[in-house]
Structure 1
Amino acid sequence: MGHSQAEKTASRERVLRIAARKVRTEGVTRPGIADLMKEAGLTHGGFYKHFASRDDLIAQAAALALAEGSAKMERAARKNKQQPRSGLIDTYLAKQHRDAPGTGCALVTLGAAAGRSDQPFKAAYEKQVRGYLDLIAGLGDDEEAQAEAMLTLSALVGALLISRAVADPEFSDEILEAVAEQLKRHGPEAAWPAA
């Protein structure tokens, strides 16, 4: 790869990573091309050397934001080797996760947009949901484990979304803590694979 091709690839990746962070924090409608390119240290005119359109960039950024969550979820589940479900719950419903939407789970930010979007975006969102459900259910085919995984994921995403949306910081903390406690009481650690 030539020097200029390597620079072009690095520039494209930089714009894509910035856009992925922006769609997590602002959703898919707000990030503008000019602002993204400026933040990446590039000119607005260079955008079309990297992406076919704004929609192309946003679709790729959303897919990247969703996919980056998989590794984080797996690491969270492996934090507590004796109780991986509890490790995942504690990490996901941590104040640090709530306070860092730019690097947090994209399911929270992109859910409403996926519901209103075209099939490719919905498919990318669904792929991530199914991946998380498989992780939570322990990759098993057990119907009860799948139902428990759906409940757990829904509670995690919902609690994080609500905790970010309320004005009172103490109430936000209370939401995270109460949902974490209830999820740990409710779900069996037995459904999780050994780490």
Structure 2
Amino acid sequence: MARVSKQQMERNREAIERVSSQLFRERGLNGVSVNDLMAAVGLTHGGFYGHFASKDELAAVASRRAAEESGQRWEALSSQPGKHTLQTLVDNYLDVKHRDCPAEGCMVTALAGDVAREGADKPVHQAYLSGAKSMLARLESLSPSEDEQQRHQQALVQMAMLVGAVTLARATRGDELSEQFLDAARQALLPKGAE
């Protein structure tokens, strides 16, 4: 059997990370097996262990990747003139496209329930926590408040509303209640006259 080149190994690992990041957000950590991941990449199950020691390790790597992608999307969006605002973040986060495409969306929302059910010793906890803190810092950076504690408290509330609204909207998709959750959170976060 021919050996796989170092470049091909790197491409395979990149594909595994990319696809697992999407599949975990779409189906959850326990909704995707190693067989599912490797089949989606076009590789064999046995090849997985040449890249990762366990699915737990991959879950942490994929979560970090998803958090980085979210940060990159925000940076690209907010770098446009006039777009580094809470309204821009809220409008994009509470959009039905974000609700309907978890594979491309925020891992904080997509994996909250799964990570909560994982043992605290699992590597995905630290990766998730890092992603959640990045999102919190992003929200804090949008606050006009000079008071650090107030900015932090405000960002905690905003994040809870954003994540909660999208989680509930996904769980009730197909019913009018789904969009009502998104709209109610948008109105609470961006009251008329405060936009």
Answer whether TM exceeds 0.5 for this pair: yes
User: Structure 2 counterpart of 1:27, which letter?
Assistant: G
Q: For this pair of structures, how many residues does the alignment match?
A: 187
The separation in 1 between residues aligned to 2:183 and 2:42, in whole angstroms, is 40
Question: Which digits, 9 at most, give the CA deviation of each residue in 1:58-100, with x for residues without a partner?
Answer: 2211222233222223344455716711010000001111110
Is 1:111 the counterpart of 2:117? The answer is no
Distance 1:65 1:136, change over 3 A: same
SS in 2 for 1:102: helix
Cα distance in 2 between the residues matched to 1:27 and 1:39: 15
Give the direction of change, closer, same or farther, for the CA distance of 1:99–1:79 in structure 2 (3 Å limit). farther
Structure 1 residue 55 corresponds to structure 2 residue 60? no
SS state at 1:29 partner: helix
For each residue in 1:146-168, what CA deviation from the matched residue of structure 2 results, as whole angstroms up to 9, or x when unmatched? Answer: 11111111100000000000144
* Contact residue 108 and residue 160 of structure 1 kept, 8 A: yes
Distance change (3 Å), C-alpha of 1:123 and 1:47? closer
Please say if residues 78 and 87 of structure 1, whose CA atoms lie closer than 8 Å, have aligned partners that are also in contact.
no
RMSD of aligned residue pairs (Cα, Å): 2.4
**Cα distance in 2 between the residues matched to 1:186 and 1:141:** 24
The structure 1 segments of at least 4 consecutive aligned residues displaced by more than 6 Å after TM superposition are 186-189
Counterpart of 2:132 (choices 122, 126, 129) is: 129
User: Is there any run of 5+ residues in structure 2 with no aligned partner, and where?
Assistant: none
Q: In the alignment, does 2:89 pair up with 1:88?
A: yes
1:159 aligns with 2:165: yes
Paired with 1:86 and 1:55, the residues of 2 have a C-alpha distance of: 36
> 105-114 vs 179-188, which deviates more?
179-188
SS at match of 2:30: coil
Larger displacement relative to structure 2 (21-30 or 79-88): 79-88
Unaligned stretches of 5+ residues in structure 1: 190-195
**TM-score for the superposition, normalised by structure 2:** 0.85
Instruction: Letter of the 1:124 partner, please give it.
Output: A
What is the match of residue 5 of structure 1? Answer: 6
